[in-house]
């Protein structure tokens, strides 16, 4: 191999290696902070009633984060089937804080105004503690949220106890709710009983979150 050829191969190799490092570095921050057994990433977001709410406001309480997009058929499955509302009412009635998070960027599917968010909550009979807006996607990326719905459970010590899908039926069919194993309900039940969460991770499914490009 000639000197020129060897230099070309070396240059290509270094370029590829740099690209791999850059990609890895770019991907890591989205998920590195959100890990089971680690403190949940702190945040402050504005809710649909104009209040600034922080995770720290709910210190000592179990908190559920539900990433949502009302136009997503997978989200629609859980609301049309009354599954999400039932969970919200069951657990907020027991002192759990339930925060629905919208990370859809302005102009993207799922983005709504505060008034529209409150109208959706009323029309669907939903019962979250608050609906939070994350238009820049900063909080969604900090948690590594990828889909709607993507569910997180934070225990009273501020530690992530569950990350993943709401259940084990990755479809948009309402009938599948009848046979689904609900991971979020199970995690909250175990936390309420003072037990460790036995299934702390699962595969999240749904529509991709429409982050700002």
Q: What is the largest CA-CA distance in the chain?
A: 75
CA nearest to 86, candidates 69, 98, 74: 98
116, two tokens? 């529209």
Q: Has residue 15 got a pLDDT over 70?
A: no
CATH architecture label of 33-208 = 3-Layer(aba) Sandwich (3.40)
Give the pLDDT confidence of 51-93 residue by residue, as tens digits: 999 999 999 999 999 999 999 999 999 999 999 999 999 999 9
What's the full length of the chain, in residues? 213
Q: Are 185 and 86 in contact (CB under 8 A)?
A: no
CA nearest to 142, candidates 103, 187, 188: 103
**Annotated domain spans of the chain:** 1-29, 33-208
In angstroms, rounded to a whole number, what is the distance separating the alpha carbons of residues 28 and 94? Answer: 36
Give the pLDDT confidence of 178-208 residue by residue, as tens digits: 999 999 999 999 999 999 999 999 999 999 9
Confidence (pTM): 0.85
Which residue's entry shows tokens 């609301």? 79
> Which range (27-31, 78-82, 101-105) has the least confidence?
27-31
Question: Residue 108's Cα: distance from chain center in Å?
Answer: 17
């Amino acid at each position: 191999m000639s000197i020129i050829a060897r230099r070309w191969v070396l240059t290509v190799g270094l370029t590829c290696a740099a690209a791999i490092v850059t990609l890895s570095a770019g991907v890591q921050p989205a998920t590195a902070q959100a890990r089971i057994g680690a403190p949940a990433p702190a945040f402050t977001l504005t809710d649909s009633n104009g209040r600034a709410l922080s995770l720290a406001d709910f210190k000592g309480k179990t908190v559920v984060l539900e990433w949502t997009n009302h136009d997503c058929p997978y989200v629609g499955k859980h609301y049309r089937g009354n599954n999400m509302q039932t969970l919200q009412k069951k657990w907020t009635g027991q002192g759990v804080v339930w925060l629905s998070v919208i990370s859809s960027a302005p102009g993207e599917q799922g983005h709504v105004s505060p008034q529209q968010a409150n109208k959706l909550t009323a029309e669907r009979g939903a019962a979250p503690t608050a609906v939070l807006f994350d238009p820049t996607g900063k909080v969604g990326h900090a948690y590594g949220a990828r889909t709607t719905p993507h569910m997180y459970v934070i225990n009273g010590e501020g530690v992530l106890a569950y990350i993943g899908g709401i259940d084990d039926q990755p479809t948009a069919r309402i009938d599948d709710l009848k046979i689904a194993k609900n991971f979020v309900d199970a995690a909250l039940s175990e936390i309420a009983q003072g037990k460790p969460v036995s299934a702390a991770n699962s595969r999240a499914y749904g529509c991709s979150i429409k982050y700002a490009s």
